[in-house]
Amino acid sequence: MMMKRYRLRIPGPIDLDSEVLAYMSAPLIAHYGAEWVELYTETVTLLKRVWQTREAEVFLMPGPGSVGMEAAIASLAGDTHKLLVLTNGFFGDRWVTIAQAYSSRVLVLEHPWGRAHDVEAVAQALQRDPEIKAVVMVHGETSTGVLNPLKEIGEICDRYGAVLVVDMVSTLGGTEIAFDDWHIGIGVGATQKCLECPPGLAPVAVSPRAWELIERSEGRGWYINLRTWRHFARKWGDWHPHPVTMPTGLTQALRFSLRKILDEGLSTRWERHTKIALFLRNALRNLGFELFVPDDRDAMNTVTAAKGHAQLPAGALIRALKERHQILIGGGLERLSGQIFRIGHMGPTATYEAVVPTLLAIEEILRSVGVSVEPGQIFRVQVPVMGPARSSP
């Protein structure tokens, strides 16, 4: 059977630049030797620029974002210290599951889904319990559209000497992250979101302070132990700087997209994502939807979640967009199943070209169920003007 093609407006993977995709069918190259080391090293160096780090070591782990999450925990877990895991959504809960799989000393700080973490509560937990040596959190909680206060939690962790471990799967490349300045210990990304590549690589950045804790931990495993990755980067750095066979086409695609990201300019890029998010939020409000994250200041600039309309449940909207307009958006996960819909606006889908047809299709679907919406009503909100691209950083 022919696979039907849809426009991917889900929160990753996203529709990609055809040049990025072309690398996936390029002739295979070897994953070792001088030419490969040059390609790998440039890719890692470009990632450091996107992360804004000079201090961290960066590894490219083949696998989904979750392999990077598991690597962070497996490397840090040990019975000598406690991990504090913050959760306010499905991916925060995934951190809890992974942490509990590796450590018996896990404290969980839960916050309501749809609201950003409470920085003061994190400070109090660290003050109460000096055995907490690592704080684990999600930056952009894709399941709800909440952006958690990373910079502020980084300052608290620095004050109490805790290593901050962060899932940046949905924000890296789309949202501001200053790895060194914000005192981040371990950052985990994934290629299929704002890095504008197919899924398959999890970039992981590790700070010198995180290494100190890893060295004091009883980290388990081999592939998922970051010590293994550092060992190969150091011992085999001149010909094969990683422990396993690498997806070479995907790495080439990533180098290309990272060059493109930096060419656009990081701040221009973050601003573009923020403007599209704001336009989308206002347009959805204008159509009568209630946003899942009420406060614009707590909202991600790469994913937007809204509740179903009084006359159009979220599931019916998702189905109609797929069947009548060939547009895929996301639904609610776990406890939000059937209640919300989620639109991704990442990289090439954080543009008017991507977002406007989706909104016009939503208008049409609303009209078809009897909601009074005028064609083009979405433009009765402020439509931000996009600036020209600058060169990074």
Ligand X SMILES: Cc1ncc(COP(=O)(O)O)c(C=O)c1O
- Interface residue with ligand X among 17, 37, 62, 66 (CB under 6 A) is 66
Instruction: Give whichever of 140 and 308 is closer to ligand X, judged by the CB atom.
Output: 140
Beta strands in the chain (DSSP E): 7-8, 57-62, 82-87, 106-110, 132-138, 140-141, 146-147, 163-167, 186-188, 201-206, 303-307, 327-328, 330-331, 340-344
Residue 137, both tokens:
């959190």
Reduce the DSSP state of residue 141 to 3 states and report it.
strand
Instruction: Give whichever of 184 and 283 is closer to ligand X, judged by the CB atom.
Output: 184
Rule CB under 6 A: which of 157-176 touch ligand X? 167, 169-170
Task: Calculate Rg over the CA atoms of the chain.
Answer: 21
Instruction: Give whichever of 225 and 302 is closer to ligand X, judged by the CB atom.
Output: 302
Rule CB under 6 A: which of 112-131 touch ligand X? none
Rule CB under 6 A: which of 262-321 touch ligand X? none
Residue 196 binding ligand X, by CB under 6 A: no
Residue 144 binding ligand X, by CB under 6 A: no
The answer to whether 138 touches 149, Cβ cutoff 8 Å, is no
d(CA 101, CA 174): 31
Q: How far is the CB of 131 from ligand X (least distance, A)?
A: 27
Instruction: Give whichever of 57 and 70 is closer to ligand X, judged by the CB atom.
Output: 70
Q: Hunting for tokens 């895929």 — which residue is that?
A: 328
Instruction: Give whichever of 156 and 190 is closer to ligand X, judged by the CB atom.
Output: 190
Rule CB under 6 A: which of 6-35 touch ligand X? 12
- Considering only 138-146, 149-157, 280-288, 318-326, which stretch makes contact with ligand X by CB under 6 A? 138-146
Q: Site size for ligand X, by CB under 6 A? A: 13
Residue 333 binding ligand X, by CB under 6 A: no
Q: Please name the amino acid found at residue 2.
A: M
Cβ partners under 8 Å of residue 139, min gap 6:
147, 148, 150, 166, 167, 168, 170, 171, 175, 177
Q: At what angle do helices 65-76 and 226-235 cross, to 10 degrees?
A: 100
Instruction: Give whichever of 93 and 363 is closer to ligand X, judged by the CB atom.
Output: 93
Q: How far is the CB of 376 from ligand X (least distance, A)?
A: 32
Instruction: Give whichever of 184 and 320 is closer to ligand X, judged by the CB atom.
Output: 184
Residue 62 binding ligand X, by CB under 6 A: no
The answer to whether 268 touches 389, Cβ cutoff 8 Å, is yes
Phi/psi of residue 248, nearest 5 degrees: -70, -40
Residue 65 binding ligand X, by CB under 6 A: yes
Rule CB under 6 A: which of 350-379 touch ligand X? none
CA 139 to chain centre: 7
Q: How far is the CB of 247 from ligand X (least distance, A)?
A: 14
Instruction: Give whichever of 40 and 91 is closer to ligand X, judged by the CB atom.
Output: 91
Q: How far is the CB of 299 from ligand X (least distance, A)?
A: 15
Q: Establish whether the linkage from the previous residue to 11 is cis, with ω within 30° of 0.
A: no
Chain contacts with ligand X (rule: CB under 6 A): 12, 64-66, 91, 138, 140, 142, 167, 169-170, 190, 199
